[in-house]
Chain A
Amino acid sequence: MDNTVIVIGGGISGLTAAGMLAQQGLDVTLLEKENETGGHLARWDRLFPDRKKASEVLDFAMEGLNKVKIVTGVAITGISRQDHEFTVSTNLRDSGYGMQDAGYQSPVPSPQSPVPSTQSPVPSPQSQYTASALLVATGFDLFEARKKEEYGYGIYNNVITSADLEEQFKSGRKVLTSEGKTPGRIGFIHCVGSRDEKVGNLYCSKICCVTGVKQAIELKEMFPESEVFNFYMDLRMFDRHFEELYYEAQQKWGVSFIRGRLSECSENPDGSIILKTEDTLTGKPLKMTVDLLVLLSGFVPSGGTRGISKMLGLQEGTDGFINSADQHSQNNLSGIEGVFLAGAIKGPISVSESVADARAAAAQIACYLSSFKVTND
């Protein structure tokens, strides 16, 4: 066993862990499938609850990566192990087989703010990397909103996702309807692809509630005259300052909250969207026209997570995310010696939690490589 680590995945978890490990003097290689690192965070504008710019959080994570060997644009084709050494084989992503399966969505890199990364020279089509420890930080994909057919994403022009909205915020443009008009009434739909057995996702994606509140406030800032509604089942304001943000949305911004899940929507002749929901607090079905409908898409295990999971034989939960050795005290251990986990590979998680989890994983890996005992066995 030497001091080499391979981090798979260059999102906020992978970057943070790689930085921590490198600062401790370990020899770190980071493999990323996209041409840029930064993952979902690179496409997000501002973060709840304090509206910090996502780019600042990312910039912070990028510091201290100068000693990390970052390889981007590669697909992992195989992982083998001999004694205490892992060998990870890669292909250039353009050159054919990658680890992503049909469920993989290619994100659109934002041209405005390319994430700085320490790029190695273009790797040869096929490469191999070896290390004594692997950190898998392959994260999540956003739930494909079009699978909720009755919500009309991809069919009705004025139905967008929270990620689409965030991209518009990031671009600095005014958010307009597809007809180019200022939206007078906007609806947010919570739990899209979450808490929904019909799409196979029984779990809560946890961060959508507060994202809906945050984005509702941002739209009210942009359009003070507009009416903004959140349609929710529960508002799970689980972390510090979240409930306060909800309070602010009601008190300062007049955002309305209607307890009821969207059953279906359709399009009016003018392109506006008709929602059908129940106002469960008055016990009546409710119909409402909105000019813009925002679907708060939940988390699903990423294509990369599923691919790596198969290669390594990781323990998948019934929700498709990866189970750690123990959720309480060994949450960064995979159950396979030398293979560690960080971030949204283990389920829905916020950015701040990802950062903390990545640092915990880095600490565990450093212990492991120094032959400290990291398991109970």
Chain B
Amino acid sequence: MIDFGYTLTRDRQLDYDRGDFRYLKLVKSLEPSMDLCIGCGSCTATCSAAGFTNFNIRRLHTVIRRGDPESIKAELKKCMFCGKCQLVCPRGVNLRNLILAMNRAIEILG
């Protein structure tokens, strides 16, 4: 192989056809209310962790739905489990259990 001084750039495009939906299947079975999200962002807006880190609970379960769960692994630990997100969710998504479910998925699937 020749080093030309530049490398191929990884494609940022989400390829849904090649997504990893194992996490989604498992998390959804543990917390079906995740389907009700309307992407309003109130959860992230009120999140204790989001103020100090780039933790974004709204984004985390969205990437699971898109079959792109890789980024959640490091992120989930930032949750302080205060539960304010669940209090503000207008659609009644059980966010505390969703966090637990995502943690469980990582335990099981790695």
* A residues apposed to B, CB below 8 Å: 235, 247, 250-251, 254, 256-257, 259, 279, 281-282, 284-289
- A293: shortest Cβ distance to chain B, in Å? 14
* B residues apposed to A, CB below 8 Å: 12-17, 35-36, 38-39, 58-59, 62-63, 65-66, 68, 91
- Give complex CA distance A251, B91 in Å: 11
Q: Across the interface, do A287 and B35 meet the contact criterion of CB distance under 8 Å?
A: no
- B20: shortest Cβ distance to chain A, in Å? 14
Q: Across the interface, do B39 and A287 meet the contact criterion of CB distance under 8 Å?
A: no
Determine the chain A residues whose CB is within 8 A of the CB of B63 once the complex forms: 282
- Give complex CA distance A235, B40 in Å: 12
Q: Across the interface, do A282 and B14 meet the contact criterion of CB distance under 8 Å?
A: yes
Contact of A282 among B15, B17, B38, B62 (CB under 8 A): B62
Apart from A247-B36, A284-B14, A286-B14, 11 more pairs, CB < 8 Å: A235-B38, A251-B36, A257-B38, A281-B62, A282-B59, A282-B66, A282-B68, A284-B66, A285-B13, A286-B16, A286-B66
Determine the chain A residues whose CB is within 8 A of the CB of B14 once the complex forms: 279, 282, 284-287
- A287: shortest Cβ distance to chain B, in Å? 5
Determine the chain B residues whose CB is within 8 A of the CB of A285 once the complex forms: 12-14
Determine the chain A residues whose CB is within 8 A of the CB of B66 once the complex forms: 279, 282, 284, 286
Q: Across the interface, do A288 and B58 meet the contact criterion of CB distance under 8 Å?
A: no
Q: A279-B62, A282-B59, A282-B62 are in contact. Are A287 and B13 (CB under 8 A)?
A: yes
Determine the chain A residues whose CB is within 8 A of the CB of B59 once the complex forms: 281-282
Q: A251-B35, A251-B36, A256-B65 are in contact. Are A281 and B58 (CB under 8 A)?
A: yes
- Give complex CA distance A281, B66 in Å: 10
Task: Tell me the nearest residue of chain A to B19, going by C-beta.
Answer: A288
Closest 5 CB pairs of A and B: A288-B16, A286-B14, A285-B13, A281-B62, A281-B39
Determine the chain B residues whose CB is within 8 A of the CB of A250 once the complex forms: 35-36
Q: Across the interface, do B65 and A287 meet the contact criterion of CB distance under 8 Å?
A: no
Determine the chain A residues whose CB is within 8 A of the CB of B35 once the complex forms: 250-251, 254
- Give complex CA distance A190, B63 in Å: 22
B17, B59, B91: which has the most chain A beta carbons within 10 Å? B17
29 pairs across A/B with beta carbons < 8 Å?
A247-B36, A247-B91, A250-B36, A251-B35, A251-B36, A256-B65, A257-B38, A279-B62, A281-B39, A281-B59, A281-B62, A282-B14, A282-B59, A282-B62, A282-B63, A284-B12, A284-B13, A284-B14, A284-B66, A284-B68, A285-B14, A286-B13, A286-B66, A287-B13, A287-B14, A287-B15, A287-B16, A287-B17, A289-B16
- Give complex CA distance A251, B62 in Å: 16
Determine the chain A residues whose CB is within 8 A of the CB of B16 once the complex forms: 286-289
- Give complex CA distance A286, B67 in Å: 11
Determine the chain A residues whose CB is within 8 A of the CB of B91 once the complex forms: 247
Q: Across the interface, do A288 and B17 meet the contact criterion of CB distance under 8 Å?
A: yes
